[in-house]
Every structure is written in structure tokens, then in C-alpha cells.
Structure 1
């Protein structure tokens, strides 16, 4: 790839052509998770979180490897005990002793891109991580892609722009695998709050997405949901479910603080186009009732589902709309079961299933 960053190109040293970021529903070789260990992620609730993880691993391991980051051999042995008691097939689970600060693998884990020319290859696009420009504990998480690339003997290339490393979290983007990407202005373009890349413009990001992920078309939504401490991750509001269709969260209660921003996102999508110039098809997805804990609203959203090979895992919140959301997604994903995962405890960490997982695509010709 041309490395002329001064003219406004992202630099991906060592990459060839024909690269792209596959869609989440495309076949996986594995799903990556970080086994929980940081009590500050779920203050007062860490104990039940292990069982939620065990259920996630049990469902995913029925269709792919689950690769789990652990702090040490002791930590690994503890995870194995939970998984055995949950009747997980441990032949489908692989452990990697790579220290992390926290457990949100979607955001700091490896982002894989594939390429077919000049040769079939899967590469880690090395973005940086700075804990959403909010927390101080991030240096171990930031090194996870580097350490995994060495451990797996896997190619990895840094993503830089105009000579600077690019910070990007996996939860801030969603792709259809055909050239279109979803993101939000609140997360990437706010010049004052949780700034990931100083002075970076819409054009700059679109250039990076094109060069690093094979994206030719970026759809910018406005804001995320209340309670989201990432400041606007798109995986809580809107997700591709096939190359032409998204599910979009909508709040029917006009008095709820999510009503107006989610309605504005719908208006934007009504005018948005896909990479081929056709309109984006939209399916509304309800929101659960506001979920509060310790006086704080939590970012509970059904859009934070994860598409595994053997199942679509959807967070549920003991809410009447659980059944509605599961029904909508079951009608969409007819090739694999849609499974609810109890996430009332999980969301106290300000994220749920999609935030915890990162897919590793199968290396194959599309």
C-alpha cells in the first residue's frame, strides 16, 4: 500500500490490496474474550459475572473456538473450573496468558482484515487503545493485539495517519462486509469530550476506514444512548444484520432521554445510502425500560448482540421488550438460533455481549 501519509492517506505498512473487514455474520475461526478479573468493571457484582461468561462461552463454543485471555495460570485454572461446571466443551476453548487491564475485548482486541490479492491473507489492523479517553488503566489492553500477533505468529500492521497512531475501538464501528461502515459523530468527532484523535476530521476518518478496512462508504449517525460511558459507541444503537439491512434502536416513550437522539438517527438513516447507492433498509428494535443501579442509568440495549457461528447472543434485562427483541432478531437470523443471555448484572459494567467479544474471521475466499 502507498504510504504517503502527508497527502492524506492512512499508512498500513506491509499490506497488499483487496483487503476488507468481514461482516460479523461471516464465518469465524474463533471468538476472543477476556476472562473477568477487574473488580472495578463490575463493582460488587464480579462473582455472578463469571457465570454469565461461562454461558456465553458454552453457546459460542458449539460453533467455533473461543479464545480466552487470562492473567496467569491461576486465573486460567479458575476459568476452567467455571467452564467445566457449566458443561462447556473445553476442546473448543483455548487460553492465552496475556495480561489485560479490563475485559472489554471488542474495543482493545485485534481487528482482523482479510485480503485475497496478491495472496490470501488475514492481517491484524493495529489500532491503538486509550480506554475511551476516559480511564487511566489501559496500557496492558493496548498491547493485546501486539502480543497476540507474536503469540500466533500472525501478520500485523500499524494504522497511522499523517505520522500519528490512530486510536479506534471496535465498538465504535459496525460494517456490512461489502464496503459500508456505521459510526457516530458523538464518539469520533466531538472536539472536547473523550477525544480519541486530536483534530481529526470526518474526511480523515473516512480515509482511514478506506485504507485500513476497505470501506468505501461511511454512514454517520449522531449520538449514542444514555449511560454509555464510551460517549457514543454505535454498537448500542444500530447494527448491520445483512449487507443491506440494519436494526436501529427506537425509544417510543417521548419523555425518555433516548427518544430524541434515536429519532434523529432514524432520520439520518432514512437519507443514507449503501456503497452501491441504494437505500439502507431499516428494522426498528425496541429499547428496554430504563435500567438503574446505584443511582446511575445503565446503557441497556438489545443492539449489543453478538453474531456467532452457532447462535446470535442477545442481552436481556428482565423486561417485557426482551421477548419482542428476541422475536425481531429471530425473524432476521433464520440460519442460526437467537439466544437470550441474562445481562442485568453484566450491564453494570456499562457494556454487554458485543462489548466483550471480538471475532476472528475464517481465512477463505469470499
Structure 2
């Protein structure tokens, strides 16, 4: 049986799909063979930006988006295999995260919803597909997120050394890896790139994100606004906890900007940089004060202004996961390839100490071919 897996990850930044081809022979025996990034076509991106994380979406559009994304994920997987010159028959399975439409772990009836029809992925690629990873954790009392700390434990933990991993996606999540055998923990710290991107698009409608943080670099952090933003109760809430753009939205930001009405927009952007950096590093200081290094991954590593802010505020040296042999752009997609491997091996994929679930469970649904 093949030991090659594909991982597909589309995050809350709503920009495209990261696809990784990996050889997985055990929990720590993982080798990346190929990687590519498949950007969303303009119409799909615009539709997602209008409707993801909002309060309403027309039912016909929901169905169409589910199918549209499934086809997009399938194309990303097939494109990756063409570039790697690997036939689909050599792949054991695809692990597809899907695209989060809404995340409500604290609702009266907790839920999370990822779309990107895995039936389409399996049918169009001819490869067994594992998907819908988060809802089983919620079914046993968990937050359904973050799920990547189990993978971080497998590939980044080190006996005798406390380490932390910060994923800077649309939302930032932190994994704490004690070196003395204590349980691994992790949680969403708050906004990563989601507010930065949304505020940038508000003032640059033709753009998608603040390339290399250049616009933020033109502004200055406003301490009064930063204090107001950091006063949100989420930042002081004890884990387990997870969040999303449903909470940290432009509407949330607008409520605080009413008290600072004349700020230049680039100063707001600079303040949002510090919001991400300070909320993440303060959480690290509270929860793993002896960390020897902070390993960063996700799209935020390409924003030097954000990385400099992290280095300024962090209680320990900041580097990227490349220092441990995994490209920071590949970590999350690789995690979902690994989770697919665990699902098919009959192994649990969640960490109750992270998500708050009452037990370890096998994650995901399998769509065979």
C-alpha cells in the first residue's frame, strides 16, 4: 500500500489552497516530496470574502460554493501531482481541510462548518479523500480547533527543551511543547492576518493584502487603540479556546475606532500588527514562560513588519519552522496529510488538552474510490 499522501489547506485568509505531497511512514517519519500554492480564481475569492464568516448566506449559493470549492481542491491536488510527475494511483489518500465558512464552538449547539465537497475531490481525482476533520472533536465536547498541535508535537517537540509554535494564518494559533513530558497544549491567540488583510482591502480595493507590510510600515502604532483592542475578553479567557473572523471582524474593529475617529488608516494597520504580535507573545509569556524559541509558520512569516513586531515583544528568540526542517508555508497542509494518515491508520487525531474534548477520537470522514 502506498505511503504517499496529499494535504490540502485553505485558511481564513481566503486566498487559495496550499497543497503538499508527503511520504508518511509513521508519526515522526514524514518527508515532504512536493508543494504548490493554488490561488483562488478572482470570482471565487470575492464570493468567499463576501459570504464567509457572516450571519447569512443564500442556500443555493452555499450548495454551489461547496461544489465549486470541491472542484478547486481537486484541481490543486492534480496540479501538484503533475508538477511532481507522480500518478494519482501512487497516492494513498488526500487529507482536505476544506474552507471554513463559519466556526461556532461556543454556540448553544456548538458547530463548525467547512465546505469543499470531498465527494467531488474523490470523483475528480480518483483518490480516496479524508475530510471533515473538525466536527468529530466538537461532537465529544471540543472546540474543533486548533487541530495542528498534535502534528506540531510529532515534528517539532524536543525532549528537555520547551518550545512554542505560532501559526500566523488568518487567525493566529499557538502550540506549547514542554520538554519535560507535560501535556502539549494550544489555542487560538486572536487575529493573525485576517484583520490586516480586511483593513488593507477596505482602503485598497484592488489589492488582496499588505505586501511585505509596506503600508503598515508607513504608520505608527496607536497605544490608546491597542489598549482598547487588547481589552477584549477573549484575550484573557483561559484555554481551551478558539476563534475566527466571525468575532475579530471589521465590525469589531469599527466599534473601537469610534473612540479614535481621526486616526490615519496606516496607523490603524500598524496598530493591528502590534495587536497580533502582542496578543500572541503575551499568551506565550503566560502559558510557557520558559520557552527557548518561538517557531513561526503560516502566511504571516512573509510580513517582515509583523515578524519584527513578534521579535520585539517575544520573551524568547523568534525564528521560523524552517529551522526545524519544514518550510513555514507547508506546515498546515502537511498537518492535514498527516491527519489523513492517522485516520486511515485508526489513530486519534485530536488532543483533548488542546481542544477541551472529553476523549481522543479518530477524526474525519473517508470518501473511498
Which TM-score bucket, shorter chain as reference? 0.3 to 0.5
Identify the structure with the greater strand proportion. 1
TM-score (norm 2): 0.32
Identify the structure with the greater helix proportion. 2
TM-score (norm 1): 0.32
